[in-house]
């Protein structure tokens, strides 16, 4: 019995402790058309408002880029959530995030987590993560798409659109480091992946999606995404939507020709 009492006291101690922890860590909210921003008290109001305004602007821009602006709205029940933690420490400890990251997105729950920092949040991170979330709305949450396609579409949304990517890929063609689309499609990235390979992977992803969007037509890109939503395999959707592109090798050839001609 004594033991039980001791255990009970211990359990209540932890319970009370965790409850006060929760109440001390409550969220304030700001509701917008397509987003709800949750933020810790103490986060500057103008920062919160800028996050909301940027998110709404990016939402319009990404919808336009993906060709879905006429249909797209996350009003009320479908609104996405953005959590702004107090600082890096709060973000890592309570947000369950890695120390090196400044923001992250959970596609399934349409949730973005971040904290006030000047690491390119507005120009890159916010539109990039929105790109992932919105792409998966278009192609379906469980679409089986290659990682390069997912990342390339997300990078296409960033303000600078990875202008440097084209140059990196062109150099890789000259020095023989270039990874063909077929090989790129099989690639997986790990925390211990070689840095140069990771850099080239992202550059190629940005470059090929840029090529598909700007050279093969945005309207066709949208059709392609709709086809993927029908659960058509990526490699089968290609010849169905794009004329003269039978497979990944054909797409690779056209992309490389374009890069060499530039």
Q: Nearer Cβ to Zn ion, position 105 or 241? A: 105
- Per-residue interface string for the shown chain with Zn ion, residues 92-131, x marking contact by CB under 5 A: ----------------------------------------
CB of 128 to Zn ion, least distance (A): 6
Task: By CB under 5 A, tell whether 62 contacts Zn ion.
Answer: no
User: What SS3 string covers the chain?
Assistant: CHHHHHHHHHHHHHHHHHHHHHHHCCEEEEECCCEEEEEECCCCHHHHHHHHHHHHHHHHHHHHHCCCCCCCCCCHHHCEEEEECCCHHHHHHHHCCCCCCCEEEECCCCEEEECCCCCCHHHHHHHHHHHHHHHHHHHCCCCCCCHHHHHHHHHHCCCCCCHHHHHHHHHHHHHCCCCCHHHHHHCCCCCCCCHHHHHHHHHHHHHHHHHHHHHCCHHHHHHHHHHHHCCCCHHHHHHHHCCCCCCHHHHHHHHHHHHHHC
User: In this chain, which of 48, 82, 124, 154 binds Zn ion, going by CB under 5 A?
Assistant: 154
Specify the stretch interacting with Zn ion by CB under 5 A; choose among 46-54, 146-154, 216-224, 229-237.
146-154
Q: Which is nearer to Zn ion, 112 or 154 (CB)?
A: 154
Give the residue nearest to Zn ion (CB). Answer: 154
Q: How far is the CB of 131 from Zn ion (least distance, A)?
A: 8
Nearest CB to Zn ion, comparing residues 154 and 169: 154
Which range binds Zn ion by CB under 5 A, 31-39, 141-149, 151-159, 220-228?
A: 151-159
Which window, 30-38, 84-92, 107-115, 148-156, contacts Zn ion (CB under 5 A)? 148-156
Least distance between Zn ion and beta carbon 61 (Å): 17
Q: Is 161 exposed, middle or buried (0-12, 13-18, 19+ CB in 10 A)?
A: middle
Q: How far is the CB of 12 from Zn ion (least distance, A)?
A: 44
Q: How far is the CB of 166 from Zn ion (least distance, A)?
A: 19
30 vs 147, beta carbon nearer Zn ion:
147
Report the nearest approach of Zn ion to the CB of residue 17 (Å).
37
Q: Rule CB under 5 A: say whether 256 interacts with Zn ion.
A: no
Stretch that binds Zn ion, among 2-10, 32-40, 95-103, 145-153 (CB under 5 A): 145-153
Alpha-carbon distances of 125 from 104, 105, 117, 138, rounded to whole Å: 8, 10, 11, 20
Rounded to whole angstroms, the Cα distance separating 53 from 21 reads 31
Q: Cα–Cα–Cα angle for 90, 95, 96, nearest 5°?
A: 110
Which one, 47 or 234, has the nearer CB to Zn ion? 234
Footprint on this chain of Zn ion (rule: CB under 5 A): 151, 154
């Amino acid at each position: 019995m004594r033991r039980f009492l001791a255990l009970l006291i211990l359990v209540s101690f932890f319970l009370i402790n965790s409850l006060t922890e929760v109440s001390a860590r409550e969220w304030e909210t700001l509701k917008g058309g397509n987003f709800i921003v949750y933020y810790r008290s103490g986060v500057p109001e103008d920062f919160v408002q800028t996050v909301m305004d940027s998110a709404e602007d990016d939402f319009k821009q990404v919808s336009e880029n993906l060709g879905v602006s006429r249909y797209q709205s996350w009003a009320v029940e479908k609104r996405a959530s953005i959590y702004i933690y107090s600082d890096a420490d709060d973000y890592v400890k309570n947000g369950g995030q890695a120390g090196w990251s400044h923001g992250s997105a959970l596609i399934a729950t349409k949730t973005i987590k971040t904290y006030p920092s000047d690491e390119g949040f507005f120009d890159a991170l916010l539109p990039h993560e929105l790109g992932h979330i919105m792409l998966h709305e278009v192609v379906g949450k469980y679409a089986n798409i290659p990682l390069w396609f997912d990342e390339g579409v997300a990078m296409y949304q960033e303000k600078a659109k990875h202008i440097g990517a084209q140059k990196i890929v062109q150099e890789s063609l000259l020095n023989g480091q270039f990874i063909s689309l077929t090989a790129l499609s099989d690639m997986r990235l790990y925390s211990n992946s070689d840095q140069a390979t990771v850099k080239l992977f992202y550059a190629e992803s940005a470059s090929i999606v840029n090529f598909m969007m700007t050279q093969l037509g945005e309207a066709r890109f949208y059709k392609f995404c709709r086809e993927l939503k029908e659960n058509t395999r990526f490699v089968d959707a290609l010849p169905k939507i794009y004329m003269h592109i039978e497979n990944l090798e054909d797409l690779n050839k056209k992309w490389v020709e374009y890069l060499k001609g530039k």
